[in-house]
């Protein structure tokens, strides 16, 4: 059975992949979802590598949003045969986790807050429409309710970029209000990735899970 390791982005946890997992498993694809501590890039990489250490077969490693930075460094693990970026940041060696080619929507920047411990979070009143504009309001609110504070890599820089040594696919979210599509395409180009596009917002694993699962099955076949 093919295995795909699904790596979430900032402010999320693995539950954001639940609709996608159901679709992938129906296609015979095994899914594993590391939980990132969202403290810094080293700690997040370690969480993914701990999961990869348990994999008995070559895997596809997917990173969503900030998770793209995490899979860029964790993807050099010997268990990884392919890296997939989903509306993701793609840093290069020597760069911070936020990369240098990332353009973020103004509404998202305006919704950023910092808690008393100095950890960023997204204003809960604004999060549903930012992350899940393609869902109905009730469902968007349910998914937004589990978002959490977290860092996006801190001061840690990339030592080795997996996309330089692994086959790479980039899935562009064509109407993303968070990581702008033009920025996604620039990240895809720099990595030499095979590029596919899906309509809609930043979260197709929730809004379009069947379509995304079909794309992934084709990409890793």
- For all residues of the chain together, what is the average pLDDT? 96
Name the H helices within the chain: 18-26, 41-52, 67-74, 106-110, 127-131, 137-144, 181-191, 204-207, 209-219
pLDDT in tens, 164-198: 999 999 999 999 999 999 999 999 999 999 999 99
Q: Is residue 221 predicted with pLDDT exceeding 90?
A: no
Which tens digits make up the pLDDT trace of 28-63? Answer: 999 999 999 999 999 999 999 999 999 988 999 999
The predicted pLDDT at position 75 comes to: 98
Looking at the predicted structure, is the pLDDT value of residue 1 above 80? no
Which is higher by pLDDT, 32 or 99? 32
Q: How many residues does the chain have?
A: 221
Average pLDDT over residues 116-139: 96
| Count of other CB atoms within 10 angstroms of residue 196 | 15
Q: Domain 2-102+147-219, CATH 3.30.70.3270 — does that match?
A: no
Residue pair 75/158 in contact (Cβ under 8 Å)? The answer is no
Q: Would you call 77 helix, strand, or coil by DSSP?
A: coil
């Amino acid at each position: 059975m093919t295995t795909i390791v699904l790596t979430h982005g900032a402010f999320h946890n693995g539950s954001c992949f639940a609709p996608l997992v159901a679709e992938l498993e129906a296609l015979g694809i095994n899914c594993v979802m590391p939980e990132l501590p969202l403290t810094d890039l080293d700690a997040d990489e370690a969480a993914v590598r701990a999961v990869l250490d348990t994999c008995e077969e070559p895997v596809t490693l997917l990173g969503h949003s900030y998770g793209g930075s995490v899979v860029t460094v964790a993807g050099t693990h010997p268990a990884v045969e392919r890296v997939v970026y989903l509306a993701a940041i793609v840093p290069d060696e020597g760069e911070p986790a936020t990369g240098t080619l990332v353009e973020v929507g103004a509404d998202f920047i305006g919704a950023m807050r910092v808690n008393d411990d100095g950890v960023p979070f997204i204003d809960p009143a604004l999060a549903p429409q930012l992350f899940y504009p393609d869902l109905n309001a009730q469902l968007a609110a349910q998914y937004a309710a589990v978002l959490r504070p977290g860092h996006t890599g801190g001061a840690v820089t990339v030592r080795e970029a997996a996309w330089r040594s692994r086959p790479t696919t980039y899935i562009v979210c064509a109407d993303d209000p968070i990581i702008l599509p033009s920025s996604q395409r620039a990240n895809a180009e720099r990595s030499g990735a095979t590029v596919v596009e899906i309509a809609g917002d930043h979260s197709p694993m929730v809004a379009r899970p069947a379509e995304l699962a079909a794309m992934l099955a084709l990409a890793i076949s």
